[in-house]
Amino acid sequence: MSLLDLFKKLFKNNTVRPVEQIRMQGEKPAIGLVVTTFDKGGLEQVVLNLYLGYKDHGYAVYLMCQEDNLGIMAGQIADEELMVFNNDMQYFLKYLYKKNITVLHYHYNIFGWEEAKTRGVSTIYTMHNVYTWKSNPEILAYSKILNRMDKVVPVSNQVKDYYLARTDAVKDNLQVIYNGIDLNEIAQDILPESLKRSGLGLTHNDVVIVFVASFYPVKYQIGMIGVMEKLILRYPDTKLLFVGNSENEYYQHFQKEYRNSSAKKNMQVVPYFDHKYMGAFLRQTSDIFTLPTLQEGCSNAVLEAICCDIPMVLTNVGNAMDVSYLKGCKVVNTAYENIVTTSNEQMIQMSYRKDSSNQDELVEAFSDMLDYLERYQRASLVPASEKWKYGKGEMVNKYIKLIEEIAGRGMAQ
């Protein structure tokens, strides 16, 4: 049966209603969140926050996964609202009609976007990072597709500026919306003994730096080993905790450098733990947060550190400059000159070296913070009345406003 015949049959049996009919009746649009996989990590946390936020506002929401690669975070999606379509276009489109989905919200994925749009479905694409892995022809071709989306949402100003610098993107079709975190979850104070300072073998005199990021080349944990080797010569009581998903090849390279490092006794990898403990872990276990990575989009971990009132040392990537006004935050240069002209191959080559070009600048930034830690801790206190702007509620509200704008535009058409 052809797709056209399938849709005619569905309409004839009254199992679905045309998109135009749903819009004209003024109903809230049903939303499909489209992802490639859904395991665990920062992307999944953002998508999960959107899923829960849309539901809280009374929207029907469905997570549509292209591949059957589901992890721990998929367990928070209701079974009847989780669909794996396994690259099956017919099944994908049939599901849209079955659930009366009128808005598709894409994340690192564009499957079926054109077929959906020709059937009246609105499309939003969230750009979660700078696309250094795409060659010039690839990103130009990609931008031609994204130009036909109803809206493209970069998650930080740096992501937007990077995209505009490398493409002929339609500027008016871009709208920056920062990621948002679950403020209620991050405020919880329950922490297992194994994650407390005593459980990790840390002493009262230790000053603890926490690096929260999954182990990937662009996160550049290996570079921080080189920083620690210099830093402990001045501050022997400084300890570094790596926190993040380690189920990948880069972790094996990291382990080789870690085992042979002169700073090994001052560093440890914390086993992966449930995200619900992150707020308590940052407040009770860490003194300084760091994210000295090669590239970011809009780091959830940075927002969490802000809302936990932790001083930060960041590299100038992602949302670092968007939060650099905070007095408890120090932002240093990246390990390369210009992100627009730095290729993915160059990024990967850097990621395996301990001696980064910004190593000394990082050492000096940490040294200044260690010398005046109490001052930085006082400066990092953010009033509760200001933390709402980093929350998922603010993020969801902005997306809902965008969706309603697009839905209204569709009705007008």
Radius of gyration for the alpha carbons in the chain, expressed in angstroms and rounded: 23
DSSP secondary structure of 186-204 = HT-----GGGSTTTTT--T
pLDDT per 10-residue tile (average), the chain, 413 residues:
48 45 64 93 90 95 96 90 96 96 96 95 96 95 96 96 94 95 94 97 96 95 98 98 89 96 97 93 98 95 96 95 90 95 94 97 98 97 92 96 81 38
Which parts of 89-153 fold into alpha helices (H)?
Answer: 89-98, 113-118, 136-146
Tokens 């990898």 sit on residue: 269
CA neighbor of 250 nearest in space, from 350, 141, 158, 122: 350
Q: Three-class SS of residue 327?
A: coil
Contact 59, 81 (CB under 8 A): no
pLDDT in tens, 159-192: 999 999 999 998 999 999 999 999 999 999 999 9
Q: Give every CB contact of residue 316 below 8 A, 6+ residues apart in sequence.
A: 331, 332, 333, 334
pLDDT in tens, 185-214: 999 999 999 999 999 999 999 999 999 999
Contact 275, 41 (CB under 8 A): no
The domains found in the chain, sorted by start residue, are 3-180+392-412 (3.40.50.2000), 183-390 (3.40.50.2000)
